Amino acid sequence: MDRIELQKDSVFIDKFETTLEKEGPFSPWELFQMTYQAELTTMAPSFEGLKSLDYLPHMEFLDHQISCANQVIEEMNGRAILADEVGLGKTIEAGLILKEYMLRGLVKKVLILVPASLVNQWAKELNEKFYIPAITHRKNYSWDQTEVMITSIDTAKRSPHREHILDIDYDFILIDEAHKLKNHKTKNFAFVRSLKKKYCLLLTATPVQNRLVEIFNLVSILKPGHLGDYGSFLEQYGKDRKKIKQDKYLKQLIQKVMIRNTRQNTDFDNIKRKIETIWIDFKKEEKDVYSHLQSVTEVFPTFSKITLLRELCSSREACFLSLQKMVTNQENEHVIKPITDKIEQLPQHVKAEKAVEVIKQLGKEKVIIFTEYRATQLYLQWYLKENDITSVPFRGGFKKGKKDWMKQLFENHAQVLIATEAGGEGINLQFCNHLINYDLPWNPMRLEQRIGRIHRYGQQNDVHIYNLAIRGTVEEHIMTLLYEKINLFEQVIGHLDSILAELNINDIESEIQTIFSESTSTGEARIKLDNLSSIIKLTHDQTELKEEQYGN
Amino acid sequence: MAIKNLHDFLESYFTANHCEFVHNKDGVLTVQLTEDMDRALMNRPFYWHYIKKIGNPGDPLQLTLITNPEKRDEKGEWIHFGSPRLQQILNKLKQEEIYTKLFERIDTNRKTSLFPWLVVNIKISYQGKQKRDEIFSIGLHLINGSMKTDMMELLGEKSLQMTISDYCYTISPIIRLKSGFTRIESVLESYIHNQTHDWAEVSIKTMEEEIQLLTHFYSSKDDEENTQQEMDKEIGEIKKRYNPRITFNVINGGIFYLAENAIS
């Protein structure tokens, strides 16, 4: 008892005496009584449990989200890494935790740092789903006076904001996409370390991307010393991330500060992914151009030839524009010119026709089309319009406001959203459950990002994915040898990131490109690609086994 | 005594604030606000500023609240325990309805004396790793010094008003307000002293463990300049998070003049 600090109410009785002297104002009995009732209603009678659930009757939480919030508050004491796979609702978990702390009166001053593109979305979700009055930072907003502020780390660390923020004692700090803090030598890391905080959540889908020391750095923000000191950690676990699975002790330690739910261990899997690969044959003219392009050996480096071939599988426009850029002198012009001439003569792309067919079959259902190329995006926009289908474009480069606007147009007015790759991160489109992969990315992680836009928390229906691939082209190889072989569509690639890192593959896309460019024949490329898939599959099966051994 | 029926609660709230009901059926409540309530709840200071400037009395709004979840899609605001509107109302209550002076209503034609009670409603919060609250309602007889718990429940059976009834007169307190309040505090203090505080011990243990880990973490980092400063900051944060504390917070309180033996 003597170590407990006791704080009495020093204000009430004096103020009451003054009120008596002034003969009021006094509260009528009804209101006086109601105030007492109000306190009885809002108090937290027990240390345990989530009070916030009673306050959010409009929300339906999943079991893993509730147990996550419980665990963070009761066992981790409010400092944790939330590392659920993409789409399982990390934002929801974080919102629930924050709400609980605010209701119990443990948190008032909050700073939420998220990528600039997600600022508005965070504000919207916290306000609408949790009734947390979060405000996004604008010019001249005062850091002192706003209780719950959302901004990007880049804004926060810039002067004069930096100085203000570092002066404030925050009760709660949340950092989204926290894997960007994996390197302890960066300015962002130092900035985050120097923030004054009580509770702290770090959100990331990929807590360890390459080296085990990354997780050491994340943990150091929350609980310095939990994993020992830097030197001995490096010595013991080195740069090898495999150790996390081998070392049971380390794993346990990490589990004390990190929660990772995967699709497999949640009941999220009620929603099925229905995958349909639609094979298409080039029209004769298209096939002709494709073979022509393939047979050209001089002029282009092999790298760009592969790209050109991929582009041709996507749209005339994409390939045409790239070819035109390559015309630098007369010598290569005489090689390129005949090809571009031929492209100009091509009819509508066979894939675009197929896409329209698919969309029309779906009636009025919303559809997202993903393509790798901007030229294709523009072409599709025009072509869909020709076919009386309404569509809106979406790109990563859009400003925040425009992104929100496009999303809204899609939700309320247009049938189709045509997105390029960079548009993937962070937009939530659960209201749509049809996705067309107009062309396939060569990096399976990016594919997962795409699908994650619709197959995520809040999706009510089964998710339909249509892959368009052209037979007898480079697309066929990627499709059959990479995606189908390692079963990427069906089983969500929860482990893929770790597998690739384990195999020391930093960039699978360039790996594949190398395979194509260094092979002298299609046959050789096939074999190499096949080998790559085999090894990924093997490692995947092994990790599955290990996970079973240790549980998660 | 916590709010059980939200609809009834809101009805009494608006009645106590002199608002009339335009419509009240099946868990849908439309209230004609008064100017004061409009200013307090509707967040439109510019409207009131402007309308008063041009010498117009102004038009208070109507507010429709839906307490029946099945009707939540109808026009109006769905109000429930988490909704911002209810939080706004509860906060307004907590901020404003703190002090009172009330008299027991007595129908009589003989001279009747009323005795003063100091009534204090107080929230005790225990904060370690987590936080828990406990609420006490205590009444102190300011003449004979007897003390009662659950005072609000006892008072709930009485009829109380802001003016004194005819033929009644009040007896002046013998115990001064301040020392009365101190008596109540010390009773609560001894209540706290007589408890075992496992929650605090657990919290202290965690605090010490974390500080130890931290010290070890920094002991091998002596080459860096700001180490000491950084470490102190981290230790401060740990203490803030775990250092056990108990706080007394008066919810509200007042003087109640009650008939002799009104509370037994």
Are A63 and A19 spatial neighbours (Cβ–Cβ below 8 Å)? no
Mean pLDDT of A413-421: 88
Q: Are residues A395 and A247 in the same domain?
A: no
Residues 128-187 of B with CB under 8 A from A: 128-135, 137, 152, 156, 160-162, 177-178, 181, 185
Residue where the block lists tokens 């809040």: A458
Contacts of A49 in chain B (CB under 8 A): none
In angstroms, the separation between the Cα of residue B34 and the nearest Cα of chain A is 16
Burial label for A115, CB within 10 Å (0-12, 13-18, 19+), is: middle
Contacts of B2 in chain A (CB under 8 A): 37, 40-41
Mean per-residue pLDDT of chain A: 84
The answer to whether position A42 is within a domain reads no
In angstroms, the separation between the Cα of residue B29 and the nearest Cα of chain A is 19
pLDDT in tens, A245-264: 566 777 788 888 999 888 77
Within 10 A of B60 (CB to CB), how many other CB atoms are there?
18
**Which residues, 6 or more positions from A343, have their beta carbon under 8 angstroms from its beta carbon?**
A289, A312, A316, A319, A320, A323
Instruction: List the structure tokens of A147.
Output: 């209780």
Are A485 and A76 spatial neighbours (Cβ–Cβ below 8 Å)? no
Mutate to test the interface with A, among B97, B134, B256, B258 (most CBs of A within 10 A): B97
Which residues constitute the domain of residue A374? 275-279+347-550
The answer to whether position A113 is within a domain reads yes
Q: Are residues A210 and A61 in the same domain?
A: yes
Q: Are residues A116 and A220 in the same domain?
A: yes
pLDDT tier at B232 (50, 70, 90 boundaries)?
confident
- Specify the CATH number for the domain of residue A124: 3.40.50.10810
The answer to whether position A505 is within a domain reads yes
The count of C-alpha atoms lying within 13 angstroms of the C-alpha of A10, restricted to the half-sphere facing its C-beta, is 2
Split into its structural domains, chain A has a count of 2
Comparing CA positions, the residue from A119, A117, A116 lying closest to residue A127 is A119
The residues spanned by each domain of chain B are 6-96, 99-195+247-259, 198-243
Mutate to test the interface with A, among B9, B98, B118, B224 (most CBs of A within 10 A): B98
- Specify the CATH number for the domain of residue A432: 3.40.50.300
Q: Are residues A117 and A240 in the same domain?
A: yes
Instruction: List the structure tokens of B64.
Output: 């429709």
ipTM (interface predicted TM): 0.94
pLDDT in tens, A196-212: 999 999 998 877 766 77
Contacts of A54 in chain B (CB under 8 A): 81-82
pLDDT tier at B256 (50, 70, 90 boundaries)?
very high
Asked whether the predicted pLDDT for residue A143 surpasses 70, the reply is yes
Selection from A301-315, A384-398, B149-163 with the highest mean pLDDT: B149-163
The count of C-alpha atoms lying within 13 angstroms of the C-alpha of A392, restricted to the half-sphere facing its C-beta, is 18
Asked whether the predicted pLDDT for residue A448 surpasses 70, the reply is yes
Residues in chain A: 552
Mean pLDDT of A128-139: 91
Contacts of B189 in chain A (CB under 8 A): 6
The count of C-alpha atoms lying within 13 angstroms of the C-alpha of A11, restricted to the half-sphere facing its C-beta, is 9
Residue where the block lists tokens 């991929």: A310
Are A50 and A69 spatial neighbours (Cβ–Cβ below 8 Å)? yes
CA distance linking residue A295 with residue A282, whole number of Å: 17
Burial label for A517, CB within 10 Å (0-12, 13-18, 19+), is: middle
| Three state DSSP letters for A240-281 | CCCHHHHCHHHHHHHHCCEECCCCCCCHHHHCCEEEEEEEEC
Asked whether the predicted pLDDT for residue A270 surpasses 90, the reply is no
Q: At what angle are helices A302-314 and A316-326 packed, to 10 degrees? A: 150
Mean pLDDT of A304-314: 86
**Which residues, 6 or more positions from A436, have their beta carbon under 8 angstroms from its beta carbon?**
A355, A358, A359, A367, A368, A369, A370, A465, A466, A468
pLDDT tier at A491 (50, 70, 90 boundaries)?
low
Residue where the block lists tokens 């092979």: A519
Contact of B258 with chain A, judged by CB distance below 8 Å, is answered with: no
Query: CB A12 to CB B69 under 8 A?
Result: no
CA distance linking residue B221 with residue B214, whole number of Å: 11
CA distance linking residue A366 with residue A245, whole number of Å: 42
Q: Are residues A249 and A351 in the same domain?
A: no
Within 10 A of A269 (CB to CB), how many other CB atoms are there?
11
Instruction: List the structure tokens of A209.
Output: 């991307």
The answer to whether position A50 is within a domain reads no
pTM of the model: 0.72
Query: CB A3 to CB B204 under 8 A?
Result: yes
